[in-house]
Structure 1
Amino acid sequence: MAVNGIKSLRNLPVTSGLGASRAFSSAAKSKKTKGAAASDAPKQSTLSKEVKSTTVVGANILKDGTDPKILPDSEYPEWLWRLLDKKPALSELRRKNIETLPYEDLKRFVKLDNRARIKENNTTRAKN
C-alpha cells in the first residue's frame, strides 16, 4: 500500500521555484520588526524585592509545588559551606609528607594518583 502512495507521488508535476515569487504583506514585516525590537530589550521582573529576598525563585521542579523559602544559615548542614573550597592538586599533594596529611587529603591523593597512573598506562599501551 505504501508503494502505491510513492508511485502516485512520482507522477505529480514538479514546479521549480524560479518563476514563482513570494511576497509578504507590510503588516507582517512591521510585526517582525516590532517583535525583534521587543525581544532585544531586557525583561522586567514581575516579582517584588521582598519575594526575591525570601524565596529561591526558579528552584521549583514540581508542577504543583512552590519555590522553597530561604532559611537562616544555621538551618543548613555544615558540609554545604565547604563545597566551594579549593581542593589541593595532585602536584601539591605529592610535595607534602603523606604521613601528615589529613584523611580527606590522603583519600584525594590516592584517587588522583591512581587516575594519573591509569592515564599513563593507557598512553604507553595505546596503538599508534
Structure 2
Amino acid sequence: MPIIRLNSLRSITISKGIVGVVGRRTFAAGASKAKKGKGGAADGPKASSLSNEAKSTTVFGANILKDGQDPKILADSEYPDWLWHLLDKRPALSELRRKDIQTLPYDELKRFVKLDNRARIKENNSLKAKN
C-alpha cells in the first residue's frame, strides 16, 4: 500500500506546449485569517471562570472517571508519610560505591545492588556486542 504525503504532492500541468510542475499546499486557509498582529493570538488572555476558592480547594483535571468529580485538596496530615519523600534526591551508583557497604541502610543497599547489577549487565552486553 503506497504512502502519500499530501504536503509534498506535485502535479504536472501541460497547457499549450508549456510543461510545468505545480506544488500543492495542503494547509488550512482559514487559520491565518483569525490571527491579528505578530503574536498570533486573536484575543488577549482569557480570564478563568473559576473562583480563587475553588482553585485552592480542588485538583482540576485529576478526575479519570466519566461520572466522577475532581478530588478535593486535603490537609498535609491526611496524606501518607512516604508521599513527601518521593522527590528526595537519592545517591547515584558512583556515590554508593564510595561508601562502605557494611554501613549502608537497607534501602540504599537494595538500591546499590539493583544499580550495580544493571551496570554489570550493560557492560557484559556491550562486550558481547563488540565480539
Q: What TM-score, normalized by structure 1, do the two folds share?
A: 0.70
Aligned to 2:72, what secondary structure does the other structure show? coil
CA deviation digits over 1:3-32, x for unaligned, max 9? xxxxxxxxxxx995x8xxxxxxxxx69953
- Which of 97, 100, 106 is equivalent to 2:109? 106
Shift in Å, 1:56: 0.6
Between structures 1 and 2, the one with greater helix share:
1
Aligned to 1:38, what secondary structure does the other structure show? coil
Aligned partner of 2:49 in structure 1 is: 46
Alignment of 1:28-47 (within 5 A): 32-33=34-35, 36-38=40-42, 41-47=44-50
Shift in Å, 1:33: 3.1
Aligned partner of 2:93 in structure 1 is: 90
Asked whether the equivalents of residues 59 and 72 of structure 2 are also in contact (C-alpha less than 8 Å), the reply is: yes
> Hey, what's the Cα distance between the residues in 2 that align with 1:92 and 1:106?
12
Aligned partner of 1:55 in structure 2 is: 58
| Unmatched runs of 5 consecutive residues or more in structure 1 | 1-13, 19-27
> Hey, what's the Cα distance between the residues in 1 that align with 2:105 and 2:33?
65
Between structures 1 and 2, the one with greater strand share:
2
Relative to structure 1, the CA distance from residue 60 to residue 93 in structure 2 (aligned partners, 3 Å threshold; closer, same or farther) is same
Shift in Å, 1:62: 1.4
The number of residues matched between the two structures is 104
Aligned to 2:62, what secondary structure does the other structure show? coil
Q: What TM-score, normalized by structure 2, do the two folds share?
A: 0.69
Aligned to 1:86, what secondary structure does the other structure show? coil
Letter in structure 2 aligned against 1:63: K
> Hey, what's the Cα distance between the residues in 1 that align with 2:117 and 2:62?
37
> Hey, what's the Cα distance between the residues in 1 that align with 2:71 and 2:81?
19
| Identity fraction in percent | 73
